[in-house]
Amino acid sequence: MSTGSNATPDVGANASDAGRKHTAGAYDVRTVIAGLIGLYGLVLTIMGIVDYDDAARAKTGDVNANLWSGIVMIVVAVVFALWLRLRPVVVDPATVRAEAGEGTSDGSDSAHA
């Protein structure tokens, strides 16, 4: 029967996955947050450097709000990126293999089977 041949690849897959850690990588929400905050911070920093005139100075009480908020946002994005790098989300390979054939959670794949 086919059950004997299916057991052999699973054992080999377990052996090869045992030494490797699977991380969430780009699917980690911290990646998106760091990217968006960093992009907005970069835009605000550039606007603070390029477009700081007397009218903006009068509105903010002689503080370059775009520049400072942009710098803070870049620092926060770097902190998120460091957090992502130093403490990655480790995905259990056994869970990934177990969920590989399950499909969607709303049951929409069962209508096609």
pTM: 0.61
Q: Residue 113: what pLDDT?
A: 52
Instruction: Report CA-CA distances (Å) from 28 to 5, 7, 44, 74, 88.
Output: 36, 32, 25, 19, 8
Q: Residue 112: what pLDDT?
A: 57
Please report the beta strands in 1-113, taking only residues with DSSP state E, as ranges in sequence order.
22-23, 90-91
Token pair of 47, please?
């606007």
Residues in the chain: 113
- The band of 9, judged by pLDDT with boundaries at 50, 70 and 90, is very low
- In angstroms and rounded to an integer, the radius of gyration of the C-alpha atoms of the chain is 24
Domain regions of the chain by residue span: 30-91
Can you spell out the DSSP letters for 12-41? HHHHHHHT--EE-GGGSHHHHHHHHHHHHH
What is residue 94's three-state secondary structure?
helix
Question: Tens digits of per-residue pLDDT, 29-39?
Answer: 888 999 999 99
Question: Tens digits of per-residue pLDDT, 57-112?
Answer: 888 898 999 999 999 999 999 999 998 888 777 767 766 666 666 666 666 655 55
* pLDDT higher than 60, residue 8: no
**Lowest-confidence segment of 4-13, 25-34, 39-48, 57-66 by average pLDDT:** 4-13
- Cα angle, residue 26 at apex, residues 79 and 14 outer, rounded to 5°: 115
